[in-house]
Each structure stands twice: as structure tokens, then as C-alpha cells.
Amino acid sequence: MRETSIVQRSKRPVGDSVESVISYEKTAETIRYNERRKGESMKDKTILVVDDAPENLDLLVGLLKDNYNVKAAINGKLALKIAQAPNKPDVILLDIVMPDLDGLEVCRRLKSDSETADIPIIFLSGQASSEDCDRGLELGGAAYLHKPVDPGSLFSLLDIVLPDPHFS
């Protein structure tokens, strides 16, 4: 709880860089999420984060790691390998625009495989067009978020797509 009071007293990060603002918002939103969950962890739930930009992976893994088991993939090929492994993720956060194997093709392959078809996919779009996002939903995606990802929106979506074992 001490960490909460420190963040609540801060008005904004000292630096004005995007990274410092995102870091501040990430910390504050993570604390609010933990308080809403009353400290209950969802560590039994695995989230696969897929993005070709290492800084995006680092940001999302950092945001989620206190509450979930998080796996990361830097490309679509690795994402397919992780998703098809014995310990499948419970949800996938998937960048749409990636070289070689884009997020739409990864989704199509996962949804056509009976072993992975039921894994919810939340698309992440930074440069993707609205048509790409719509196509992702048509392929079976559960939702999409625009980058930079708003932590509150991400946690809200995760609450929707991941069943809470305490209420089952």
C-alpha cells in the first residue's frame, strides 16, 4: 500500500518523454487494478504478447507480469510455436503489423487449428488501418486496442476475456 500513496501524491512524471508518461500511467493503473482485484493474482492465467518492437514487448510484459504469467514472442512464427505448445496461453495480445507473418495471418492459422481456435485474441494496432482491425475481428479476434495501449482498457478487456476463478 505504501507504493499506492507515493503514486497518488505524484501529479505527473518529472520528465516529459512519452516513456516516462507511459511508465507513470502503467504504474498507477497497475496499482488500481491490483486494488480492484484485492491483491488476488491471476498468475494461473498465461498471456502471450506478440509484437515485433522490443520496446512494446517490454512495456506490455512489465505492465502484466505482476498479475499474470506472461510469455513474449517477437514475431508471428514464434507466436504460433508458443501457442501450439502443450501449455497454451489463455489469451494472446497480437500486433497486426509485423514483417513476414503478420498478426492477421497468425490469427487465421490459430483459429483454423482445433487446438488453438478457442484462445481469445486481442489485436494491438499502431499502424494498422481500421479495415485491418475489422478483418481481425472477422477472423475471430475478440477485440482490438490502439497503440499506445491504455492500461485501463487493457485490464478491462482482460477481465472480460479471462474468467475469474473466484467467481466460477
Q: Is 64 exposed, middle or buried (0-12, 13-18, 19+ CB in 10 A)?
A: buried
Domains in the chain: how many in total? Answer: 1
Q: Please indicate, yes or no, if residue 17 is contained in any of the structural domains.
A: no
Q: What is the pLDDT of residues 26-60, one digit of tens each?
A: 455 555 555 555 445 678 999 999 999 999 999 99
SS3 of 61, please?
helix
How confident is residue 71, by pLDDT bands cut at 50, 70 and 90? very high
Q: Is residue 157 part of a domain?
A: yes
Of 167 and 4, more confident? 167
Read off the pTM.
Answer: 0.77
Residue 93: which H helix or E strand, with range? Answer: strand 91-95
**Assigned C-alpha cell, 108:** 487465421
Cα–Cα distance, 29 to 167 (Å, whole number)? 23
14 inside domain: no
In a domain, 69, yes or no: yes
Range of the domain at 85: 43-161
Is residue 61 a part of any domain in this protein? yes
Q: Is residue 145 part of a domain?
A: yes
**Mean of the per-residue pLDDT values of the chain:** 80
pLDDT in tens, 73-101: 999 999 999 999 999 999 999 999 999 99
20: in domain: no
What is the C-alpha to C-alpha distance for residues 65 and 129, in angstroms, rounded to an integer?
29
Work out the percent of the chain whose per-residue pLDDT is above 90.
58
Evaluate whether 73 touches 50 at the Cβ level (below 8 Å): yes
What is the DSSP secondary structure assignment for residue 149, as one 8-state letter?
P
CATH label of the domain that carries residue 95: 3.40.50.2300
Assigned domain for 138 exists: yes
